[in-house]
């Protein structure tokens, strides 16, 4: 492969590379190219066998038999058809998949379903329904705390869990003290919500929806 | 209906429903997870198999061989489709690069295969078994380098690729006593909408149903038909909910094509979602720009010469980023020059992203205005006011239909406490923070597109609106319901809105901030017809029938609206078409952005402290959802100003930070409370709704207001976006 750019990557180049991931991606691309002989077959992986798992989702016991690679997110969306929980990135980078497991919020895309045997899970569908909205859902509607709506279930699950974290005294990065009880201030809530991206940019309104509910609970 | 003379008084002017800050009618569905997005139509397409896309690992060259045998033999796999299996495919009118590559590769992560399996996990695993070897060709990935020889380009097909000139810029600039000549850069941006591109395809014989996530139903349907080589009448294309688009979903993308091909090969419905790390190089982005701005002015602050030149790159036969458009119209000045250059790059396809042209253009122009004001010793609000124009500077006989930029600036300055700003930078501090304020004008043209709707009056007295318009978070469901309710004299609860389905009349779709004004005008037209039909059924003269409170009145007669449908549902359809009022008048939207930032004097970290926008866009159909459009755009503007940048790997030709961890967008902690004020206006020259778009206006200029605020805080001017701390840290005021 004459003149192929990857040959010119020296160690110095690697070290000086401004974006390390660029170098890694580049060399991987190069490696794929060198490993080109299409005859070189990979080792066949054994087919994963389904595993049983039982979850309590929104108060209902669900017994599933799942490919062990199935994330909790895909178990909810693709197997239980609870599509209110969204997949924005599948990599723990956006918060769209936030659900509550045993009352604590997690990114369900970062967790395999089979890790949750016996767990109690609450999704957006478990908080309220269009006819009987959870107070946080109603506050989002009132304050227009959403636009496209795709991040919204994750925001709402996070918002409910955040207020509970504050109530339980869990400190955050912006808490003034690790021992004093944190308050549901604007900055405290914004910090804790920062794992939930809203590209539509409804943040200012979400903060108002949360403040209303935090105020009621205070 | 054709709109060719300015609107007189009409039922919308009653503003009983329109203009009210009503909650969105789709709110309960969205907040409870009941609104179905593209990948979630398991009821309509049960038993769907899963498709996983394989992307090219090179930016340019050819596939020399491809081994799909292992993938085909993998557990659960139903089909593997590559270009050679797919047969001849067309290319959609709105696509620059092919949506299924091979053997030629046009850009990194161009789709080259789809693997279909029983489950998502099986499809993903099998996709990893597709072995490809490539013959890489030399690509052009360096914008700076490519622009050195790039030809002039034109922003539209109707104008030749040459500079746009008024008067004699060079002479006037040379003679100007006060001058600015500065260069600005903006990087490639990613739409990064939260819902990844996704489609479900299901064939019924030779008919194809597609649930997808697309802003423009008819464009998508037409381009899918072209791509697959089939009549578009046989495709039903549906996007009832779209999880954000920002221009990225204006066009057909490969998820829909791969789902259709995969479903055909597998003989059952197939669902395909792009993975996040794949979609940023596979789909489109806002192209980077290199801009040069020159402004010449008299000492009194009157601009005499203004030039804005911009260069960008795209794939062969691509389009320039029209970053100079606003400079033709925003400020007065007798001598003007704007031009575009377009370099050929082999990076992924550049295309529209929210406020294409103006977003990066205003990021530069409005910093240049700030710099020029400082050189002149003028307040930047005052400098802009002095250069206001009420006419198109190139055609003084052509007036702006409405232009209250000055009011936006004045009211904003007032509300924001602008007088507290210290014109001398780096003078104000608050503890460890250097504090600064910045201002920028907002400007974006208004556009109308033909838009159709069908309305039904049911026997139950419910009015149902059907149009292929989309709601991408913009509030279409709600403002369309408000429009129909106002026209028919009903409360909003008695209107049902159905959107995003190609079996409904073709609408404007969502983009270019044309959606709200155009689609509600289409509904207006259909409702005028429905009112006629109702009057006729009831034996009233439609000229004097009044629709109000669920009743129809004429003289001293009054009947329930539902009565008109007693003998059977009334169904009518119409399309709003547009005359040439947009030629007679320059129709634009205006605003002013005010931002206060704090810059950590030790680390250079930048935080937004306050934001205010004042906007003028004709009638505001729903102040609640319109305000959300504004704050959302302001948030995206903060992203562009402070963090967003697709990093180009110039050796291998791809965007390195192609996921949401690497491509940073604003999060909750970055955005304080935002304030928005709308001027109470109506613009009768644009439509019977008298409303203009707002969705992009909010983004235009806000990035510059942030950058200007940072400069006011630090005294360090950064002209290369994003304004990150490494670009000013070494020049920050000394810490005592
Ligand atoms: S989908 Fe789980 S964090 Fe994005
Ligand atoms: S509402 Fe669209 S991403 Fe948050």
B437-454 tens-digit pLDDT: 999 999 999 999 999 999
Contacts of B68 in chain A (CB under 8 A): none
Q: What is the pLDDT of residues B601-619, one digit of tens each?
A: 999 999 999 999 999 999 9
B632: closest CA of chain A, how far (Å): 4
Q: Ligand 2, from A95, A202, A203, A206: best to mutate by most atoms within 8 Å of Cβ?
A: A202
- Angle (CA) B279-B37-A81 rounded to 5° is 110
The mean pLDDT value for B411-422 works out to: 98
- Give the C-alpha separation, B401 to B586, whole Å: 6
Ligand 2 nearest atom to the CA of residue B195, by list position: 3
From B691, B427, B708, select the one nearest B593 (Cα to Cα): B708
- The number of residues making up chain B comes to 736
How far apart (Å, rounded) are the C-alpha atoms in residues B584 and B355? 23
Distance separating alpha carbons of residues B78 and B115, to the nearest angstrom: 8
Task: Check residue A23 and give its pLDDT.
Answer: 37
Burial B45-59 (b: 16+ CB within 10 A, else e): beebbbbbbbbbbbb
Question: Would you state the pLDDT for residue A20?
Answer: 37
What number does the ligand 2 atom closest to the CA of B243 have?
2
Residues of A in contact with B668 (CB under 8 A): 189-191, 193-194, 196, 203, 206-207
Distance CA B226, CA B6 (A): 38
B151 inside domain: no
- B111 in a domain, yes or no? no
Q: Nearest residue on chain B to A141, judged by CA atoms? A: B27
Q: Is residue B410 in some structural domain?
A: no
Q: Which of B245, B473, B695 to mutate to test the pocket of ligand 2 (most atoms within 8 A of CB)?
A: B473
> What residue owns the CA closest to ligand 2's atom 3?
A198
Q: Where are the alpha helices (DSSP H) in B211-337?
A: 217-228, 254-266, 276-282
Q: Tens digit of pLDDT for each residue in B89-134?
A: 999 999 999 999 999 999 999 999 999 999 999 999 999 999 999 9
Phi/psi at B519 (5° precision): -70, -40
Indicate if ligand 2 lies below 6 Å from the C-beta of B245. no
Ligand 2 centroid to B136 CA: how many Å?
A: 39
Residue A180: partners with Cβ closer than 8 Å, 6 or more residues away = none
Q: What integer is the mean pLDDT of B253-277?
A: 98
- Index of the ligand 1 atom closest to the CA of residue A108: 2
Q: What is the mean pLDDT of residues B568-597?
A: 98
Token pair, residue B469, equals: 């318009």
User: By percentage, how much of chain B surpasses pLDDT 90?
Assistant: 98
B62: pLDDT strictly greater than 60: yes
Size of interface A-B (CB pairs under 8 A): 265
Q: How many domains does one find in chain B?
A: 1
Please tell me the predicted confidence (pLDDT) of residue A41: 57
CB distance A144 to ligand 2 below 6 Å: no
Q: Which residues pair with A117 in a beta bridge?
A: none
What is the reported pLDDT for B26?
98
Strand partners, B678: B615
- Smallest Cβ–Cβ distance between A199 and the set B129, B192, B656 belongs to B192
For residue B157, the model assigns a pLDDT of: 77
Q: Where are the beta strands (DSSP E) in B6-89?
A: 49-55, 61-67, 77-82
- From the list A38, A133, A195, the residue facing B31 with the nearest CB is A133
Cα distance from B314 to chain A (closest Cα, Å)?
21
Phi, psi of A209 (to 5 degrees): -60, -45
| Residue B73 located in a structural domain | no
Q: Which of B150-164, B538-552, B617-631 has the lowest mean pLDDT?
A: B150-164
| Rounded distance between C-alpha atoms, residue B170 and residue B166, angstroms | 11
Return the residue matching tokens 């239980």. A80
Using most ligand atoms within 8 A of CB, pick from A77, A101, A105, A109 the residue to mutate for ligand 1: A109
pLDDT of residue A46: 77
In a domain, B706, yes or no: no
Residues sharing a CB contact under 8 Å with residue B645, sequence separation 6 or more, in sequence order: B187, B188, B189, B657, B663, B721, B722
Tens digit of each residue's pLDDT (9 = 90 or more) over B690-736: 999 999 999 999 999 999 999 999 999 999 999 999 999 999 999 86
Which residues are CB-neighbours of B122 under 8 A, at least 6 positions away?
A67, B50, B74, B75, B76, B77
Question: Atom 4 of ligand 2 has which residue's CA nearest to it?
Answer: A198
Domains of chain A: 50-127 (3.10.20.30), 129-218 (1.10.150.120)
pLDDT of residue B735: 86
Domain of B557? 2-35+448-581
Closest by CA position to B510, among listed B200, B154, B155, B240 = B240
Looking at residue A13, what is its pLDDT? 42
Decide if B505 is inside a domain.
yes
ipTM above threshold 0.90: yes
SS3 B497: strand
The one-digit pLDDT tens for each residue of chain A (218 residues) are 344 444 444 444 444 434 333 333 433 444 444 444 445 555 666 789 999 999 999 999 999 999 999 999 999 999 999 999 999 999 999 999 999 999 999 999 999 999 999 999 999 999 999 999 999 999 999 999 999 999 999 999 999 999 999 999 999 999 989 899 999 999 999 999 999 999 999 999 999 999 999 997 64
Tell the residue nearest (CA) to atom 3 of ligand 1.
Answer: A92
Identify the nearest ligand to the CA of B628 by its number.
2
Which residues in chain A touch residue B39, judged by CB atoms under 8 angstroms apart? Answer: 77, 83, 87
Beta-carbon separation of A88 and B195 below 8 A: yes
pLDDT of residue A4: 45
Q: How far apart are CA B377 and CA B716, in angstroms?
A: 17
Q: Active-site positions of B?
A: 696
What does pLDDT average to over chain B? 97
Rounded Cα distance between A169 and A150, Å, is: 30
Two tokens at A195? Answer: 């794992």
What pLDDT score was predicted for residue A25? 40
- DSSP β-ladder status, B77-82 and B49-55: unpaired
pLDDT at B622: 98
Ligand 2 centroid, distance to A199 Cα (angstroms): 5
Domain membership of residue B537 (yes or no) is yes
Say what the pLDDT of residue B160 is.
86
Determine the Cα–Cα distance for residues B637 and B592; give it in Å rounded to an integer: 13
List chain B residues with CB under 8 Å of A149. Answer: 26, 29-31, 35, 241, 243, 473
CB of A157 closer than 6 angstroms to any ligand 1 atom? no
Contact B232, B260 (CB under 8 A): no
Do the domain assignments include residue B426?
A: no
Across B639-664, average pLDDT: 98
**What is the mean pLDDT of the segment spanning B146-156?**
94
Residue A101: how many CB atoms within 10 A of its CB? Answer: 17
Q: Write down the residue that tokens 């000086």 correspond to.
A: A16
Chain A: give the shortest CA distance to residue B109, in Å: 11
What DSSP string runs through B304-359? Answer: EEEEEEEEEEESTT-----TTGGGGTSS--SEEEEEEEEEE--SSPB---SSTTHH
Within 8 A by CB and 6+ apart from B64, the residues are A36, B103, B133, B134, B135
Contacts of range A185-190, beta carbons closer than 8 Å, 24 or more positions apart? A186/A211, A186/B672, A186/B673, A187/B669, A189/A159, A189/A162, A189/A163, A189/A214, A189/B668, A190/B668, A190/B669, A190/B671
Residue A179 distance to chain B (closest CA, Å): 22
Closest of B116, B49, B107 to residue B82, by C-alpha = B116
CA distance B311 to B305: 20
Here the CATH number for the domain that contains residue B491 is 3.30.365.10
Q: Give the pLDDT of residue A164.
A: 97
Q: Which residue has the higher pLDDT, B524 or A26?
A: B524
Please tell me whether residue B126 adopts helix, strand or coil conformation.
helix
Question: A190 vs B671: CB contact, 8 Å cut-off?
Answer: yes
Residue B285 region by backbone torsions, left for phi larger than 0, else alpha for psi between -120 and 50, else beta: beta
């Amino acid at each position: 492969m004459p003149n192929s750019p990857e040959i010119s990557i020296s160690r110095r180049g690697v070290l000086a590379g401004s974006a390390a991931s660029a170098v890694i991606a580049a060399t991987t691309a190069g490696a794929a190219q060198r490993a080109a002989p299409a005859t070189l077959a990979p080792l066949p992986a054994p087919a994963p066998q389904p595993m049983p798992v039982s979850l309590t989702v929104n108060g209902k016991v669900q017994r599933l038999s799942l490919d062990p690679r199935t994330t909790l997110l895909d178990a909810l969306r693709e197997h239980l058809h609870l599509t209110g929980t969204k997949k924005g990135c599948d990599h723990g980078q956006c918060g769209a998949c936030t659900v509550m497991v045993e009352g604590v919020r997690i990114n369900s895309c970062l967790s395999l379903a089979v890790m949750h045997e016996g767990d109690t899970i609450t999704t957006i569908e478990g908080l309220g329904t269009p006819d009987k909205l959870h107070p946080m859902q109603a506050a989002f509607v009132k304050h227009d705390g959403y636009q496209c709506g795709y991040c919204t279930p994750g925001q709402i699950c996070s918002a409910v869990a955040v207020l509970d974290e504050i109530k339980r005294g869990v400190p955050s990065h912006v808490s003034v003290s690790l021992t004093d009880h944190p308050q549901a201030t604007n900055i405290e809530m914004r910090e804790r919500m920062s794992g939930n991206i809203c590209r539509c940019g409804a943040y200012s309104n979400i903060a108002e929806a949360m403040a209303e509910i935090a105020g009621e609970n205070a | 209906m054709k709109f060719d003379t300015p609107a007189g008084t009409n039922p919308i002017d009653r503003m009983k429903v329109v203009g009210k800050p009503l909650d969105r009618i789709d709110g309960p569905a969205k907040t409870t997870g009941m609104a179905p997005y593209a990948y979630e139509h398991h009821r309509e397409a049960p038993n769907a198999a899963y498709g996983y896309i394989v992307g090219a690992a090179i930016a340019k060259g050819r596939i020399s061989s491809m081994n799909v045998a292992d993938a085909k033999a993998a557990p659960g796999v139903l089909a593997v489709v590559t270009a050679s299996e797919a047969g001849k495919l067309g290319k959609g009118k709105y696509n620059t690069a092919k949506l299924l590559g091979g053997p030629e590769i046009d850009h990194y992560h161009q789709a080259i295969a789809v693997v279909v399996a029983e489950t998502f996990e099986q499809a993903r695993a099998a996709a990893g078994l597709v072995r490809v070897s490539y013959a890489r060709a030399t690509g052009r990935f360096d914008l700076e380098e490519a622009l050195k020889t790039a030809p002039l380009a034109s922003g539209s097909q109707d104008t030749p690729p040459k500079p746009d000139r008024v008067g004699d810029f060079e002479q006037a600039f040379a003679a100007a006593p006060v001058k600015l000549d500065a260069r600005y850069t903006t990087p490639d941006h990613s739409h990064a909408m939260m819902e990844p591109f996704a489609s479900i395809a299901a064939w019924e014989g030779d008919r194809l149903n597609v649930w997808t996530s697309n802003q423009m139903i008819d464009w998508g349907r037409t381009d899918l038909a072209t791509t697959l080589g089939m009549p578009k009448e046989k495709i039903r294309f549906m996007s009832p909910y779209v999880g954000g688009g920002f221009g990225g979903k204006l066009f057909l993308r490969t998820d829909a094509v791969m789902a259709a091909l995969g479903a055909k090969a597998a003989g059952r419905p197939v669902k395909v979602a792009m993975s996040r790390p794949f979609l940023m190089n596979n789909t489109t982005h806002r192209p980077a720009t290199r801009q040069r701005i020159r402004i010449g002015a008299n000492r009194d602050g009157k601009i005499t010469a203004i030039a804005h030149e911009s260069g960008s790159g795209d794939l062969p036969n691509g389009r320039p980023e029209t970053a100079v458009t606003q400079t033709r119209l925003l400020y007065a000045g007798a001598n003007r020059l704007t031009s575009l250059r377009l370099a050929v790059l082999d990076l992924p396809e550049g295309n529209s992203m929210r406020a294409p042209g103006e977003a990066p253009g205003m990021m530069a122009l409005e910093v240049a205005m700030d710099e020029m004001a400082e050189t002149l010793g003028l307040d930047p609000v005052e400098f802009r006011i002095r250069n206001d124009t009420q006419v198109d500077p190139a055609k003084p006989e052509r007036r702006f239909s409405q232009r209250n930029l000055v009011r936006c600036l004045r009211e904003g300055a007032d509300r924001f406490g602008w007088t507290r700003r210290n014109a001398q930078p780096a003078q104000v501090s608050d503890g460890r923070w250097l504090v600064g304020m910045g201002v920028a004008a907002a400007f974006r043209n208004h556009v109308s597109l033909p838009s159709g709707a069908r309305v039904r009056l049911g026997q139950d007295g419910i009015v149902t609106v059907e149009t292929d318009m989309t709601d991408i978070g913009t509030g279409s469901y709600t403002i369309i319901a408000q429009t129909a309710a106002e026209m028919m004299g009903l409360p909003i609860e008695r209107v049902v809105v159905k959107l995003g389905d190609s079996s409904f009349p073709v609408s404007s779709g969502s983009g270019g901030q044309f959606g709200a004004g155009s689609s509600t005008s289409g509904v207006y037209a259909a409702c005028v017809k429905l009112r006629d039909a109702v009057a006729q059924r009831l034996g009233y003269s439609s000229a004097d029938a009044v629709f109000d409170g669920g009743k129809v009145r004429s003289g001293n007669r009054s009947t329930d609206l539902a009565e008109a449908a007693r003998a059977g549902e009334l169904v009518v359809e119409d399309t709003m078409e547009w005359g040439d009022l947009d030629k007679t008048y320059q129709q634009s939207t205006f605003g002013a952005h005010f931002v206060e930032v704090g810059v950590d004097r030790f680390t250079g970290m930048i935080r937004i402290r306050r934001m205010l926008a004042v906007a003028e866009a004709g009638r505001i159909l729903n102040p609640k959802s319109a305000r959300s459009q504004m704050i959302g755009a302001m948030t995206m503007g903060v992203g562009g100003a402070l963090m967003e940048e697709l990093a180009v790997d110039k050796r291998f030709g791809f965007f390195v930070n192609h996921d949401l961890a690497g491509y940073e967008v604003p999060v909750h902690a970055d955005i304080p409370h935002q304030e928005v004020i709308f001027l109470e206006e109506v613009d009768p020259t644009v439509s019977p709704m008298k409303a203009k778009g707002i969705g992009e206006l909010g983004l235009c200029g806000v990035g510059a207001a942030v950058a200007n605020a940072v400069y006011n805080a630090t005294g360090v001017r950064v002209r290369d976006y994003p304004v990150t701390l490494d670009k000013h840290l070494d020049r920050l005021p000394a810490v005592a």
